[in-house]
Amino acid sequence: MDITSQQYDAVIEQCKKIFIQKAADYGTAWRVLRIISVVDQLFIKALRIRTIQDKKVQLVADDIASEFKGIVNYAVIGLIQLEINQPKVEELPLNQVSEWYEKEVSIAKQVMQNKNHDYGEAWREMSQESFADLILMKLMRIKQILANDGKTLVSEGIDANFIDIINYAVFALILMPK
């Protein structure tokens, strides 16, 4: 578990570095995104990964690892947007965004550690294709929850699905050849 924790932190550090650099370049333009728009952005990235996996050909420069990092970051954006609520045009201070990022990935990491305890790190035997498929499935679940006005009868909410998406993307990145 210590190795997994270190690997997880290393991947999150790479993702956060990109997130903060993009925030420096673009500001917090993502604050205008409604949850469905975040889901659609994640969907595009996950579907691109699946298409590249299936066709075994990539024509655009961003590789699969870059897309999984983008998935981590957009899922964090989704969690932040859920917490802040009411998307709008506004610039947020970089230090505040960094704190929110840390908070959300800390929650995701705790969920990962709890599930790893119960599942025995089964993810280490999974394929990259499965991670892409599971992310797509979680996105379809979020879309259905949104169609149900955010209500579920017995299922996890939108936030839990975003957390799982973060963790699946981190697992995929951990398992990718360096």
Neighbour-count burial for 13-43, b at 16+ CB within 10 Å, e otherwise:
eebbeebeeebeeeebebbebebebbbebbb
Residue ranges with strand state E in 74-130: none
- The pLDDT of residue 177 is 86
Domain ranges of the chain: 2-175
Q: Which tens digit of pLDDT belongs to each residue from 108-138?
A: 999 999 999 999 999 999 999 999 999 999 9
pTM of the model: 0.97
**Does residue 9 surpass a pLDDT of 70?**
yes
| Cα 78-36-79 angle, rounded to 5 deg | 10
**Does residue 16 surpass a pLDDT of 90?**
yes
Contacts of 104 (CB under 8 A, 6+ apart): 76, 79, 80, 83, 166
Grade residue 150 by pLDDT with cuts at 50, 70 and 90. very high
At residue 27, what is the residue type? Answer: G
At residue 101, what is the residue type? Answer: Y
Mean pLDDT within 2-11: 97
Mean pLDDT within 36-62: 96
Q: Are 99 and 137 in contact (CB under 8 A)?
A: no
Q: Which tens digit of pLDDT belongs to each residue from 53-99?
A: 999 999 999 999 999 999 999 999 999 999 998 899 999 999 999 99
- The pLDDT of residue 1 is 63
Q: Which of 74, 68, 72, 70 is nearest to 39 (CA)?
A: 74
| Backbone φ and ψ of 105, nearest 5° | -75, -25
At residue 175, what is the residue type? Answer: L
- Residue 79 CA to chain centroid, in angstroms? 9
Tell me the two tokens of residue 84.
């802040």
Q: What is the mean pLDDT of the chain?
A: 96
**Does residue 178 surpass a pLDDT of 80?**
no
